[in-house]
A and B are shown apart, each in its own frame.
Chain A
Amino acid sequence: MTTLAKLARLIRSKNAGPFELTFDIMFDDAATYERVRRSGAISREAVAQRYGLPAAEVKFFWCDNALAIKASIPRPYFQGDLLDSDGHGGQQYAPLMDIEIA
């Protein structure tokens, strides 16, 4: 067992416009990307669970060309709203880092 953070080249979050938040999980090589895919540990449902959302609220993609996984969720508060805490959405990915990968 290892964690997603140990296998990924980059895990990041960012605004996708002021109303959505998007996560990119990127890998250096196809073997690692395939290992993560085969593990079944990452899915729309897994992302939804980490952020306490219904799965239907999560957009989820396997991007073979980019050797990357992408997920997008609605922001809890719109960018820059009074209760928003992360204007660029850049520090929202930590809950993905310790997902265990077989």
Chain B
Amino acid sequence: MEEIRILAPNGVCGSGFVEASFEKGLCAQPHFIGCDAGSTDPGPSHLGSGEPAFPREAVKRDLRLMMLGARRLKVPLLIGSAGTAGADPHLAWYADIVREIAAAESLSFKLALIHAEQDKTYLKQRLHEGRIKPLHPAPHFDESVIERSAHIVGMMGAEPFMKALNAGADIVIAGRASDTAIFAALPLMRGFPEGMAWHAAKILECGAAAVVNRKTPDCMFAWLRHDHFVVEAPDEELRCTPQSVASHSLYENADPFRLIESSGTLDLTQSHYEAISDRAVKVSGSTFIPAQCYTVKLEGAELAGYQSIVIGSIRDPFIIRQIDDWTARLTDKIHARVHMVYGDRLKPTDYVLNIRIYGKNGTMGPLEPVKEILSHELCLLIEVTAPTQDVASSIAGMARHQALHLPIPEWSGLITALACPYNPAHLDRGAVYRFNINHVVEPDDPYEMFPMELIDIGAKT
């Protein structure tokens, strides 16, 4: 096989792409269509709650076009990190959409579902064997973290996708997966060199993000050969330049030259980028250093509590000039009031009170180098996180009232210090989660953490 052609409709399924670009991509006869569908970027609540970040109808629109395109060409469709976080609830949500589209469009195909949710007993066993290791920086990890987690996923490499393709899957919907593994799997099966295959995958996994003039999320196409690959966006208005393609390896990576996968490290230090037209770029020289030990990255989320917030603003220059002292006094007052109401039933360590001050350091927190407040008004966000929603809501109500009437020495008499734009003034935010794992597992093989189901969809009975 001299060449493998790959179509990536966009950087995340559900964000949209231009249908005409996709059709043009299909005309270039791809050997497969791949699409990433998740990330940690939308935050820990998606992994913790099992809720996807993109709306169902938006995902269905993209998925329907991809499924119809792939079945028309009779080529595989590979989707990774289903439903944002790729745990079992997300995978089931995706499988349901796939079934709905298949029924509506009378499609029949072999579907592979690859699970990435991790069994807690398995993880505890690996932990006791010393085969779970921290990355840097990593939160503290022990058996109680495994117990507390709402969901833990492993990030699969290319191998589980290869297994599904070898089993004859036409459409693969995978739980949490390395974005690049989706695109590297088939080329690696066909014997293309790892350096070029993984680098092409890295460009493709973000769709048209590597162009100079990205307008909206859209398609990218690659021609992978044995010593290089060429990338070009199907939309003729979109241009790749050597600089734009080289720049893409910077995006959301801590290190722009070394990208770590389960099976090794993609090394871009010798990569060469060359314009072969005003829209297409040829990339060569990328290498892959196989890992001494195969590792699978874990992602976990646990409940941090239930949250309520009060949003209010301050315009009085007397209060603004003493804002740090004012918030310190407010904090003491709120804790005192909570103790008055709950007594020993609720200790100060049972809940978290956080006051964010926009106009001071609300955006950057401890990283903010500007210490002087220059604004004539400040926005306060008073945030309470507690073991139950009821408690969070109650404390937020008390916080509102304490903040409203906190006295300052410059005025005598009852003041009202906080302007509240909403009524009721406090908002219940529900359950909030935190990421709690940045570790890797050393499994016996690349498959044991990722069980696969093969399902005949639309088969005549």
Residues of A within 8 A of B (CB): 14-20, 22, 24, 26, 50-52, 59, 61, 63, 65-68, 70, 72, 74-88, 91-92, 94-95
Contact = CB atoms under 8 A, between A and B. Distances in A.
B385 interface: yes
Given A78-B139, A82-B304, A17 B40 contact: yes
- Tell me if A's interface is mostly helix, strand, loop or mixed: loop
A24 B250 contact: yes
Interface string B355-379: 0100000111111010000000000
A82 B250 contact: no
B246 A85 contact: no
Nearest to B362: A85
Given A65-B273, A85-B363, A72 B139 contact: no
Given A15-B41, A72-B255, A92-B364, A66 B137 contact: no
B50 interface: no
A15 B43 CA distance: 10
B434 A66 contact: no
B44 interface: yes
State which size class the interface on B falls in: 35 or more
A79 B273 CA distance: 34
B250 A63 contact: yes
Contact of A19 (B138, B356, B362): B138
B352 interface: yes
A80 B434 contact: yes
Interface string B401-418: 000000000000000000
B243 A67 contact: yes
B213 interface: no
B432 interface: yes
Contacts, number: 120
Given A79-B435, A91-B364, A15 B385 contact: no
B254 A59 contact: yes
A65 B364 contact: no
Contact of B367 (A52, A82, A88): A52
Contacts of A86: 363-364
B45 A83 contact: no
B252 A14 contact: yes
Given A18-B40, A19-B438, A63-B247, 7 more contacts: A14-B252, A16-B253, A17-B252, A63-B257, A66-B246, A68-B247, A87-B43
Contacts of A84: 365
B44 A18 contact: yes
16 contacts: A15-B40, A19-B135, A51-B367, A52-B366, A52-B369, A63-B256, A66-B256, A76-B367, A79-B43, A80-B433, A82-B354, A82-B432, A86-B363, A91-B363, A92-B367, A95-B367
B435 A18 contact: yes
Tell which of B42, B257, B364 has the most Cβ of chain A within 10 Å: B364
A68 B364 contact: no
